[in-house]
Structure 1
Amino acid sequence: MSSNRNTTRRFDPDRKQRIIDAVLDVILEHGVQGTTHRRVAAAAGVPLGSMSYHFRGMDELLHIAFTQVARTSSSEFVARLAQARNREEAIQAIVDIIAGNIWSTPRTLLLSYELYAFAARRPELTAIMREWMQASRDALGRFFDPLTCRALDALVEGMGIHGSVDPSLLDRKEVEDIIRRVCG
């Protein structure tokens, strides 16, 4: 007896990206350790089978998702610094990046914490972090020496992290004063 099932596949060109975006939402809610295929599929609104169709496993999905976070954050940092034409404008760009939370939104910060912790346990993922740091340092390198670039890169991330938990935030003038001290 032959079955004449009329099965049609729904064309869904955005499904893979929706899954990547959903894994980030699940990480925000449950952390990397609580992120499961089932939770991601539910958050993306896709069948569970889509997970294995688009990704070899959770490690690949996490790698792709964290790469997306790093590149997006890095590109916003680099874009703001690209507007600077001289050292003074670069200093103002760094103030904007820190005081204006250009990269350190609550979402990005929490995902960054998760990425750092996850990458610390999986050395193959530290390349994502190194790319992010290098892009920042390269953007800063148009105006500052390599050692100052390292300090400013760490300062931007550190002040963003501190700002996410410190109840007494620094104002723009205080941020600028700190940056000028680091720049000499």
Structure 2
Amino acid sequence: MATGHTDPQRRARILDATLDVIADEGIAQVSHRRIAARAGVPLGSTTYHFQGIDQLLREAFGRFTDRMAELFDAHLGAAADRDQALEAVADLVHALSEGGRRDLVLAQELYTLAARDPAYRTLTQAWMQRSRAHLEKHFDPDTARQLDALIEGLTLHRALAVEPHGRALTVEAISRITAAAPADRAQP
């Protein structure tokens, strides 16, 4: 294996391995040894590239929230009007809830950390702000906040349900929230 100086992808592999360990074994099982083994790097690489587990976790979760925000961007970024935005929200809920269990577990692990440690709330806050920015192109800020919470709630309920609800219920929930939303307060 290449040394740290000639392996420009090593740091990224360590971050990805950190997320893999969290998703597969839980945050309580995160250790330099497990991460190094998962990344296929020498144990010393984790401490060479990161000052400690906390930095590793923050950067790994930052990588995760960036990827999730990009997924949100992909669904909502192309919406040209309010109707397209409504469809994009429904598509996003179903794409997130039908995806692999990995992202669901990572999100819940991050939420738990953020509930306990304010340093992680900066990650979740930035993620929420980025998500809402697309929604605020078509809806006022209060409606965007409600839709953002609805996306997370419906995604979680669909992902964990033995018999997930269908698209019709998702669309109805979105319609109820947006029906009273003032169209003229939406940002251009």
- Fold shared per TM-score above 0.5: yes
Q: Find runs of 4+ consecutive structure 1 residues off by over 2 angstroms.
A: 8-11, 100-105
Q: Is residue 2:28 matched to residue 1:33?
A: yes
* Aligned counterpart for 2:142 among listed residues 147, 154, 162: 147
8 Å contact kept, 1:38–1:48: yes
Q: CA RMSD in A?
A: 1.6
Q: Is residue 2:163 matched to residue 1:172?
A: no
Q: Give 1:103 deviation, angstroms.
A: 8.9
8 Å contact kept, 2:18–2:60: yes
Per-residue CA shift, 1:53-80, capped at 9, x if unaligned? 1000000000000001111101210221
Query: Structure 2-normalised TM-score?
Result: 0.89
* Aligned counterpart for 2:103 among listed residues 108, 114, 117: 108
Q: Give 1:102 deviation, angstroms.
A: 7.4
Aligned pair count reads 177
Instruction: Give the 3-state SS of the residue equivalent to 2:96 in structure 1.
Output: coil
Distance 1:119 1:173, change over 3 A: same
Residue type of the alignment partner of 1:52: T
* Aligned counterpart for 1:138 among listed residues 130, 133, 136: 133
* Aligned counterpart for 1:98 among listed residues 79, 93, 103: 93
* Aligned counterpart for 2:45 among listed residues 50, 54, 67: 50
Match of 1:5? none
In the aligned structure 1, how far is the partner of 2:110 from the partner of 2:73?
A: 20
8 Å contact kept, 1:74–1:136: yes
Name stretches of at least 5 consecutive residues in structure 1 with no aligned partner: 1-7
Q: Is residue 2:116 matched to residue 1:117?
A: no
Q: Is residue 2:67 matched to residue 1:72?
A: yes
Name stretches of at least 5 consecutive residues in structure 2 with no aligned partner: 180-188
Q: Is residue 2:151 matched to residue 1:156?
A: yes
Residue type of the alignment partner of 1:110: V
Q: Give 1:9 deviation, angstroms.
A: 4.3
Query: Structure 1-normalised TM-score?
Result: 0.91
In the aligned structure 1, how far is the partner of 2:69 from the partner of 2:55?
A: 21
